């Protein structure tokens, strides 16, 4: 299934986006990334976000893809506690799975 994901970080941004891209390449063969772009934080007071989009083709189900993205976030140390204080180490959202829009990307 053709899949679109959105990556974002507002803390140690360049390093965290790079690390997430590396982990995603290990999990999803052939994943391609857009250039990363700096964006103003939306909905929270924080440092700027570094955002990018990833696309890949997968045989995994929608639930499995979401689970896999969550595991990568956790591996990188992202947590609810950090989010509560406005710190997003890494956010990897499933935006589109096949024809299904799973989540609107707010910063686009």
Ligand X SMILES: Nc1nc2c(c(=O)[nH]1)N=C(CO)CN2
Binding site for ligand X (CB under 6 A): 8, 39-44, 49, 51, 88, 91, 107
Which is nearer to ligand X, 16 or 51 (by Cβ)? 51
Which is nearer to ligand X, 58 or 91 (by Cβ)? 91
**Which CA distances in Å does 30 have to 3, 62, 69?**
12, 18, 16
**Are 18 and 7 in contact, with CB atoms under 8 Å apart?**
no
Which is nearer to ligand X, 18 or 107 (by Cβ)? 107
Give the nearest residue (CB) to ligand X: 8
Give the shortest CB-84-to-ligand X separation in angstroms: 12
Any residues with CB less than 8 A from the CB of 42 and at least 6 apart, and which?
Answer: 106, 107
């Amino acid at each position: 299934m053709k899949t679109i994901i959105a990556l974002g970080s507002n803390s140690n941004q360049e390093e965290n986006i790079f690390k997430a891209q590396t982990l995603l390449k290990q999990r999803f063969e052939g994943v391609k990334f857009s250039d990363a772009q700096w964006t103003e934080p939306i909905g929270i007071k924080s440092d700027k976000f570094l955002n990018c989009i990833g696309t890949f083709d997968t045989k995994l189900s929608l639930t499995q893809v979401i689970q896999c993205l969550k595991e990568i976030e956790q591996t990188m140390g992202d947590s609810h506690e950090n989010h509560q204080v406005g710190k997003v180490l890494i956010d990897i959202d499933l935006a589109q799975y096949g024809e299904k829009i799973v989540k609107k990307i707010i910063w686009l």
